[in-house]
């Protein structure tokens, strides 16, 4: 396994790499990331994992400076997974002009759900992913369903900008108690960690009501948010959307996804659950 830090070296390696599957990450890898790598391994001759904490997708007051940088530990985890290359550029390498002068502007979806509370976030995500796609030139790229809105935006990016890349969605990795795996889980204190699985439990409760025929989506959303708030969470949103494109769900839609974002203390957690009626 090689660790490559420059665009020039990565492009030189890519010329003879055959079919490549790509897993973009911000590092501090956990089992959910490794599940993406294992899915990638089924689909290509070589796997590239990028590790880059992307300043563009962090808003003012967010955790860019304290986001864990753990390259050596990440490399140790990837060494046994058949990864060919870790691409770990520094900020100057990926953004040589300090500020990115041209950015990818996603459609209106970027301002909904998480985007409503993190303005500019999905512009930063789309821009860095487009840059990485241009550098790595993968045939396949794997993204986790935990970041469901991100996945929808990346799918649209690939379609509209004609990237010849197959996007592979991978199911959310979860701890034994149901908590969606996330690098930010380590910010939780002991009491918050014990409470955190409640987010997924509330989503499961909404899913049960949908499956039982309840189509009052607004009431389901409001009741779920109220339940979390009563337990000490600060809820950004709980919303039921159409799974295909994250449009607002309407009666008669069969493939739905329930999405939520809420804070426990200083830690913002997101989760979602797909429902087929």
Q: pLDDT of 246-275, one tens digit each?
A: 999 998 899 999 999 999 999 999 999 999
User: How many C-beta atoms lie closer than 10 Å to residue 262's C-beta?
Assistant: 24
Q: Report helix, strand or coil for 254.
A: coil
pLDDT score recorded for residue 61: 85
Which residues carry out catalysis? 33
Average of per-residue pLDDT across 142-163: 98
Strands, E, within the chain: which ranges? 2-4, 20-25, 46-51, 85-87, 140-144, 166-170, 234-242, 255-264, 267-276
Q: Could you give the C-alpha distances from 83 to 8, 56, 157, in angstroms and in order?
A: 19, 27, 26
Average pLDDT of span 79-94? 96
Confidence tier at 60 by pLDDT (50, 70, 90): confident
Give the angle subtended at the CA of 144 by the CAs of 147 and 80, to the nearest 5°: 140
Tokens of 198: 């409640």
pLDDT at residue 207, rounded to an integer? 98
The long-range contacts involving 60-67, CB below 8 angstroms and separated by at least 24 positions, are 62/118, 63/184, 63/187, 67/26, 67/28, 67/183
Q: What percent of the chain has pLDDT over 90?
A: 96
pLDDT tops 90 at residue 22: yes
Distance from C-alpha of 106 to C-alpha of 170, rounded to nearest angstrom: 22
CB burial of 56-70 (b: ≥16 within 10 Å; e: otherwise) equals bbbeeeebeeebbee
What is the pLDDT of the chain when averaged over all its residues?
Answer: 96
- Please enumerate, by residue number, every residue annotated as part of a binding site: 26-33, 57, 144-147, 150, 173, 181-184
Q: Which one of 3.40.190.10, 3.40.50.620, 3.40.50.970, 3.30.1330.80 gives the CATH number of domain 2-170?
A: 3.40.50.620
User: For residue 99, what pLDDT is reported?
Assistant: 84
* Residue 124: pLDDT over 90: yes
- Across 137-145, average pLDDT: 98
- Computed on alpha carbons and rounded to an integer, the radius of gyration of the chain in Å comes to 19
pLDDT at position 109: 97
Annotated binding site for beta-alanine: 57
pLDDT at 101: 93
For the cut 90, the answer to whether the pLDDT of residue 98 exceeds it is no
What is the predicted pLDDT for the residue at 11? 98
Domain ranges of the chain: 2-170, 183-271
Overall average pLDDT of the 178-187 stretch: 96
**Domain formed by 183-271, architecture:** 2-Layer Sandwich (3.30)
Count the neighbouring beta carbons within 10 Å of the beta carbon of residue 9. Answer: 13
Q: Which residues are annotated as a binding site for ATP?
A: 26-33, 144-147, 173, 181-184
- The pLDDT assigned to 92 comes to 95
Percent of the chain with pLDDT over 70: 100
């Amino acid at each position: 396994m090689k660790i490559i830090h420059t665009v020039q070296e990565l492009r030189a390696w890519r010329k003879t790499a055959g079919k490549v599957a790509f897993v973009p990450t911000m590092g501090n890898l956990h089992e959910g990331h490794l599940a993406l790598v294992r899915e990638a391994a089924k689909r290509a001759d070589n796997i590239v994992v990028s590790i880059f904490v992307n300043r563009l997708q962090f808003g003012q007051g967010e955790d860019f400076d304290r986001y864990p940088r753990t390259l050596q530990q990440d490399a140790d985890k990837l060494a046994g997974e058949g990864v060919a290359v870790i691409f770990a550029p520094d900020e100057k390498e990926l953004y040589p002009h300090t500020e990115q002068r041209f950015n990818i502007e996603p459609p209106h979806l970027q301002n909904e759900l998480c985007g409503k509370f993190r303005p500019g976030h999905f512009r930063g995500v789309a821009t860095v992913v487009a840059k990485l796609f241009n550098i790595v030139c993968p045939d396949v790229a794997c993204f986790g369903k935990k970041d469901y809105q991100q996945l929808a935006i990346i799918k649209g990016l690939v379609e509209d900008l004609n990237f010849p890349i197959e996007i592979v969605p991978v199911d959310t990795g979860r701890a034994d108690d149901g908590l969606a795996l996330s690098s930010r889980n380590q910010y939780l204190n002991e009491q918050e960690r014990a409470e955190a699985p409640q987010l997924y439990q509330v989503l499961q409760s909404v899913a049960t009501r949908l499956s039982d025929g309840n189509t009052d989506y607004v009431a389901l959303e409001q009741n779920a948010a109220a339940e979390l708030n009563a337990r000490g969470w600060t809820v950004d949103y709980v919303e039921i959307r159409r799974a295909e494109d994250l449009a607002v769900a309407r009666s008669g839609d069969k493939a739905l996804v329930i999405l939520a974002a809420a804070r426990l203390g200083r830690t913002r957690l997101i989760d979602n659950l797909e429902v087929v009626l």
